Structure 1
């Protein structure tokens, strides 16, 4: 049942953005605050604000909080096709297959990396929320490739900090439509939830800073294979940035890909693979890196587009 909350803006929040003020008052993320504002569930002195409006001390807030949604716990069961690239007492690196989420989320009923590791008997760090223990970064359910999970509490702390401080080398290969101009470049554009609220993300003024570096490996007649390095790790970042360049990942219909090209190449999801992952080992301090091969569906599509050229 939704909960109605009414209260004045405290003096300490004078001049804050509405979404930031809500985040501090109620303890949820600014993204969640922006969703409530966009849904008309927030009033400031009786009026619906924009998320970037500033609040003044003493202004009256009326907020309708939705009922809490319980996040499902991981189901410990082996995940077919998920292979172990590397494992020691601190970390396990997997090659994540298609159709597998990193951890349980509301609305996801499929397999997860976390559940697969637990089901195969691997010890995982207990740090973090129970439904995503040991998870230090994520890949989309239909993005394949290298993903690291912490096994020790020390490794969890170390890797979370490394990802936050951007000292991890995350590289992806993406087959995108057309030919980016220039062939090598950087996309520096903030990302937030799409205003439509349909689950997509978008380049949005005032969103979270997001930086993607790309370089063309091979150009084909109708597509390009890119090497992509992420500085930040926003949800759907590569997919959003490539779409913003008008060169969406082949097969990524959510972000504007041409379905006829996807059908011709036999691709049923975005052509995007986390090809390598490198970071400082949490215990030894040694730089370690891991590579993964393309899965069968992506390799077949690449072979086809290469043959057509």
Structure 2
């Protein structure tokens, strides 16, 4: 058995932990130099603000709809993530920190009353850090991801899934007809490992839901789509193919990129920025005890500004 613990609207939740007055208000956390939305509260999502949407497109809502937009504080988010992960580790003996707000817990076989234990860990995270989470429990990592998705949507989108699956969803406790219903309700594109491009091609062949994907013949999938999708199909069928990674794999790429807060029309500030970012990238490279095989420097104008375009790399 695997568990996936995920912080809800993580960056916004971190801000609300120290500013309780933000609860109930639409809140957006912006990217570096306040370029676009990188985290949204449920209230902000209900207003139609999309992930990655440029700030200037919804800035007016601060005046008309009580929207609160905040600059990102990644040092705070990293600290809060470490606290959340330390508490989440109490659910089971093995842990894989998948991202800043997601953690897989493994080797849960034999733990009695696993759902009750998951609720207890979730309540502890909320009480000790003020971060709301959802937990998915399943015999494969892909199904655990799906159950986490179900636990979230059942709470914030009433009617999308049965209400009793909110917050903590344990696949192994669901009757078979409920499992099939959950798979049928879930679009294929929402499954972990199926991106937009593959989802579009699957849809062209009439494969719409996760249930359709789970029923695909594995031999056909391998021949037509490759081993990655075959692994996803097997995981949806309850066959564990993806193991827990307790040690993160070495990075294949290190990027240091930022947007300027205002238009740059002279060379010195651009040179200063490139030097600063190169130093940061080198620091990350040394800290991971790796060597670089290539270095890429690029600069381009904002795609949202009118006028001449510039886009070069070397």
The reply to whether TM is greater than 0.5 is: no
User: Looking at both structures, which has the greater relative contact order when contacts are Cα pairs under 8 Å and sequence separation is at least 6?
Assistant: 2
**Normalised by the shorter chain, which TM-score bucket?**
under 0.3
From the two aligned structures, give the one with the greater helix fraction: 2
TM-score (ref. length: structure 1): 0.24
Q: What is the TM-score normalised by the length of structure 2?
A: 0.23
- Greater strand percent: which structure? 1
